[in-house]
Amino acid sequence: MQTTKLKPSMEGVFPVLSTPFDAHDEIDRDSLERQIDWAFKLGSNGVCSAMVSEILRLTSAERVNLNRLIVEMTAGRGAVVASVGAESIQQAVYFAEAAVEAGCDALMAIPPVTTRLPLAALQDYFSTLADAVPVPLIVQDASSYVGAAIPTDFYVRLLDQYGPQKILFKPEGAPIGPNLSDLRDASGSRASMFDGSGGILLIDAFRRGVVGTMPGTDLLDGIVALWNALKAGDDETAYRVYFPICAIVALQLQAGLDGFLAIEKYILVKRGLFATDRRREPNAWTLDAETRIEVDRLLEMLTQAIPLPK
Residue ranges covered by each domain of the chain? 12-232
Which residues does the annotation place in the binding site for pyruvate? Answer: 214
Residue 5 pLDDT more than 90?
no
Share of the chain above pLDDT 90, in %: 88
Is residue 13's pLDDT more than 50? yes
Give the Cβ contact number of residue 205 at 10 Å.
24
pTM of the model as a whole: 0.94
117 vs 241, which has greater pLDDT?
Answer: 241
Q: Would you state the pLDDT for residue 145?
A: 66
Residue 9 confidence (pLDDT):
81
In contact, 58 and 51? CB cutoff 8 Å: no
Whether 114 shows a pLDDT value over 90: the answer reads: no
Alpha-helical (H) ranges within 163-276 are 176-186, 202-207, 220-232, 235-253, 256-270
Binding residues: 214
Sign of CA dihedral 141, 147, 151, 154: negative
Residue 7: pLDDT band (50, 70, 90) is: low
* 46-55, 145-154, 155-164, 269-278: least confident range: 145-154
- Confidence label for 2 from pLDDT (cuts 50, 70 and 90): very low
Is 98 in contact with 67 (CB distance < 8 Å)? yes
Q: How many residues make up the chain in this entry?
A: 310
Overall average pLDDT of the 66-88 stretch: 97
Which one-letter amino acid corresponds to residue 156?
A: V
How confident is residue 174, by pLDDT bands cut at 50, 70 and 90?
confident
Looking at every residue in the chain, the average pLDDT score rounds to: 94
Cα dist from 252 to 50, 145, 248, 293, whole Å: 17, 12, 7, 14
**58 dihedral zone (left: phi>0; alpha: psi -120 to 50; beta):** beta
Cα 285 to Cα 251, 291, 294, 306, distances in angstroms: 12, 12, 17, 30
pLDDT above 70 covers a percentage of the chain that reads 96
Instruction: Provide the pLDDT confidence category of residue 197 given band limits of 50, 70 and 90.
Output: confident
Q: How far apart are CA 118 and CA 150, in angstroms?
A: 10
Tally of CB atoms within 10 A around 254: 10
What span, in angstroms and rounded, lies between the C-alpha atoms of 87 and 96?
Answer: 13
CATH code for the part of the protein at 12-232: 3.20.20.70
